[in-house]
Amino acid sequence: MTLAAATNEHLANLSNLLIYSAMAVYTLAFFAYITEWLFGSRSKVGRTAAALTEPKTSTTSKAAAPAVTVKKAGGTAVLERPKVVVRSSAGSRDVPDGPGAHGGDAQGDLYGRIAVSLTALAFLVEAGGVLARALSVERAPWGNMYEFNITFSTVAVGVYLTLLALKKNIRWLGLFLITTVLLDLGLAVTVLYTASAQLVPALHSYWLYIHVSTAILCGAVFYVGAVATLLYLFKDSYENKLAGGGTPGRFATSFLERLPASATLDKFSYRVNAAVFPLWTFTIIAGAIWAGDAWGRYWGWDPKETWSFITWVAYAGYLHARATAGWKGRKAAYLALLAFGCWLFNYYGVNIFVSGKHSYAGV
């Protein structure tokens, strides 16, 4: 074995070690997020659901939401002030955002901060694993599904941490994100693992860096938008039930009242999907240009190309629905989830079950 081959093997082993280490740290973060939600469920401070049924003097005015305060060492500590937003649908009502997973509990908030710190640490370790994999194969680390998975989960966590760094109130996303990241990495290291190897000549192009990297980033942002959309549907049903005089279940009340208002979740999911849609358009165009260089034709209705286009149409339909009065709210949300389902099938379904020109990278 040459020195270069030995070095590459060492880097591949280092990459595997770092990926498993990241999974261990993500697991600790998962339990920290769980603890934050548990402490929040015990807290009786900062509950905001009653605001839905309080009489309003004006449906367009914004009520002042009290700060969330907790007893701490004989005194009080202000955690945050829930922001009041107005629903955009007909018959709008003022609905304050929930206090967050900690539910106004100081100890729960502490565990939430610990969870974010562990998430950041795991992100750095996983990013190191992705880098080591790239060095071991001397190319971009997304030549097969295993490499795509570890890179995708890294970017998804990076998007989450970036939004937190920008002071966006999305810590509620942490538990759902880390759960799916652990599932993604577990699938990668068991079913999808592929030993380090070089790619076929068609993939040796600078378009590999451009096309696939943008696809990974788009998928990570689409995922964040899909989670927010799904939670919007649950929170909207919860708000509607309270407004109609119903009594949601105990678990639903404890969980959903701590999330942002449905209007906030709806706006957040729309903004992230709309922001990344032009990049997804560029991804398809870049893939077509690469196909022209590699195969001598820009578009051939290969299964991967077809489902990429179907995904583009689905997200375009969602964005158009948001601009159409009769399709706002829940109908548009269903379209957003359908579009993300198309993206998931484009990656997992097409790569595993359908043969085409994109199949040579292997699982």
The list of the chain residues with pLDDT below 70 reads 1, 42-94, 198-202, 325, 354-363
Q: What is the DSSP code (8-state) at residue 97? A: P
- Give the per-residue pLDDT at 182: 95
Give the model's pLDDT for residue 50: 41
Closest Cα partner for 64 from 91, 44, 84? 84
Closest alpha carbon to 219 in 151, 139, 166, 147: 151
Which value, in Å, is the radius of gyration of the alpha carbons in the chain? 23
User: Quick count: other Cβ atoms within 10 Å of Cβ 316?
Assistant: 15
pLDDT at 169: 85
How close are the terminal C-alpha atoms of the chain, in Å?
A: 27
pLDDT single digits (tens) 146-192: 988 999 999 999 999 999 999 888 899 999 999 999 999 999 999 88
Neighbouring C-beta atoms of residue 124, cutoff 10 Å:
16
pTM comes to 0.81
The residues near 172 (Cβ < 8 Å, ≥ 6 apart) are 98, 100, 101, 231, 258, 259, 260
Beta bridge partners of 36: none
- Tens-digit pLDDT profile for residues 12-57: 889 999 999 999 999 999 999 999 988 877 664 444 444 444 444 4
In this prediction, residue 282 carries a pLDDT of 95
pLDDT given at position 358:
56
| HSE-up (13 A, CA, CB side) for residue 236 | 23
Beta bridge partners of 95: 85
CA atoms of 64 and 62, how far apart (whole Å):
6
